Amino acid sequence: MRLAGIAAVSAAVALLFGLSACSVSPVYYLQAAGGQIALLSHSRPIEEVVAEGDTPESLRANLERARQIRRFASDTLGLPDNDSYARYTALDRPYVSWNVFAADPLSVRLKEWCVPVAGCIGYLGYFDKADADARAAELRAQGYDVYVGGVPAYSTLGWFSDPLLSTFIAWPETEFARLLFHELTHQVAYVKDDTEFNESFATAVEEAGVERWMAQPGKATLRDGFERAQRMREDFRALVLDYRRQLEALYASDLPAADKLARKAALIAAMGERYQQIKTERWGGYAGYDRWFAQPINNALLASVGVYTGKVPAFRQMLAACGDALPRFYKGVKQIASQPRDARERALTAGVCPN
């Protein structure tokens, strides 16, 4: 899940700091605040965990690696140098939170909820899966396509000092670095109600950051695996986007609703068949996406996939125009972020580095 995942945190901020609610209930705010407080209260300084004699060697090594990547993020990439990721929280669950997505059965546009700080976003975050499942059941009863997705990490945009979590600490080195760079980038610039801008910016920085990380002495062996994972990620995203566009065209047609639903099922089945071809012909049988295709596929699930990275090429071009100098790039992005949406669009399309 590459969404920022801050819906629950936004609600927690609202409750803790007395901000007004938008379109979610007080119960949602209470679970969000409680989950965020628990996450922080159970965190411990990395140094303390590393120094303990009963800390597993694998965890100690992963925490040491995390400290190196965190220093690199600030010293080399110019990302915020603060207390984020200086502590560690061990969780007794596979994800830190769960996001609930909903869409009309004949639309791939996500239902939106409005929360303070983040603005209007296409999901709600819960720290307890039972709460997420309960909300999902309510939405299904209302006739929505619904998907509940686990979130390994998210950014609180600097409101809190985000800890490292057991849900991602053991990820492969480049995947861990991608996530850390991505989430820290959300602290550099964040535009309310413009998820595509935020996620595309963070993705562009994560890519540049990993390239720089792999360019260090002794890291060359990481490149083949990273580039292969990137190719498969792009193939998967392209496949989903292709069929989502076909579904959008179907839903916009004049066909009767019953015919649209039948055609929807056929397109989703065809997407699964195309995945098997890609898996065999391009990936050498790699089965890492089998679990995704094994679950019930509906509009909410399709809409939750990498939909918000369409502006990555524009940010890449802007970074190149800034001479690949990240601090200059960040300054330009923050300048653009302060502008109205239309002005932001024009600035990104121009492909220049703002002064």
For 201-213, the pLDDT digits (tens) are 999 999 999 999 9
Query: What does the pLDDT read at residue 195?
Result: 84
Q: Which of 285, 304, 323 is the C-terminal boundary of a domain?
A: 304
- 116 in the same domain as 251: no
Distance between CA atoms of residues 122 and 131, nearest Å: 17
The chain-wide mean pLDDT, for the chain, equals 91
Query: What does the pLDDT read at residue 8?
Result: 53
- 267 in the same domain as 119: no
- 96 in the same domain as 17: yes
Q: Which residues pair with 119 in a beta bridge?
A: 115
Residue 109: inside a domain: yes
Helical packing angle, 341-350 and 312-321, nearest 10°: 60
DSSP assignments along 272-302, one per residue: HHHHHHHHHHTSTT--TTHHHHHSPP-HHHH
Query: What does the pLDDT read at residue 19?
Result: 42
Are 191 and 200 in contact by the 8 Å Cβ rule? The answer is no
Q: Which of 171, 187, 203 is the C-terminal boundary of a domain?
A: 171
317 pLDDT above the threshold of 60? yes
Distance between CA atoms of residues 215 and 51, nearest Å: 30
Percent of the chain at pLDDT exceeding 90? 79
- 235 in the same domain as 145: no
- 12 in the same domain as 107: yes
Percent of the chain at pLDDT exceeding 70? 92
Residue 1: inside a domain: no
Weakest-pLDDT range from 17-26, 62-71, 174-183: 17-26
- 262 in the same domain as 163: no
The amino acid sitting at 327 is P
- 231 in the same domain as 142: no
Q: Give pTM, 2 decimals.
A: 0.89
Q: Which of 147, 171, 195 is the C-terminal boundary of a domain?
A: 171
State the CB neighbour count (10 A cutoff) for residue 307.
Answer: 20
Residue 350: inside a domain: no
- pLDDT band for 229, please (50, 70, 90 cuts): very high
DSSP conformational letter for 21:
P
pLDDT in tens, 119-176: 778 889 999 999 999 999 999 999 999 999 999 988 888 888 999 999 999 999 999 9
18 pLDDT above the threshold of 80? no
- 158 in the same domain as 28: yes
Residue 241: inside a domain: yes
Give how many domains the chain has, as a whole number: 2
Query: What does the pLDDT read at residue 1?
Result: 41
Residue 342: inside a domain: no
Query: What does the pLDDT read at residue 2?
Result: 44
pLDDT in tens, 242-271: 999 999 999 999 999 999 999 999 999 999
17 pLDDT above the threshold of 50? no
Comparing 122 with 198, the larger pLDDT belongs to 198
Query: What does the pLDDT read at residue 12?
Result: 53
- pLDDT band for 20, please (50, 70, 90 cuts): very low
Query: What does the pLDDT read at residue 55?
Result: 96
Residue 124: inside a domain: yes
- 166 in the same domain as 39: yes
- 244 in the same domain as 137: no
- 84 in the same domain as 226: no
14 pLDDT above the threshold of 70? no
Q: Helix, strand or coil for residue 142?
A: coil
Comparing 16 with 175, the larger pLDDT belongs to 175
Residue 25: inside a domain: yes
Domain interval for residue 239: 222-304
Query: What does the pLDDT read at residue 23?
Result: 61
286 pLDDT above the threshold of 60? yes
- When computed from its CA atoms, the radius of gyration of the chain, rounded to whole angstroms, is 21
- 249 in the same domain as 145: no
Residue 39: inside a domain: yes
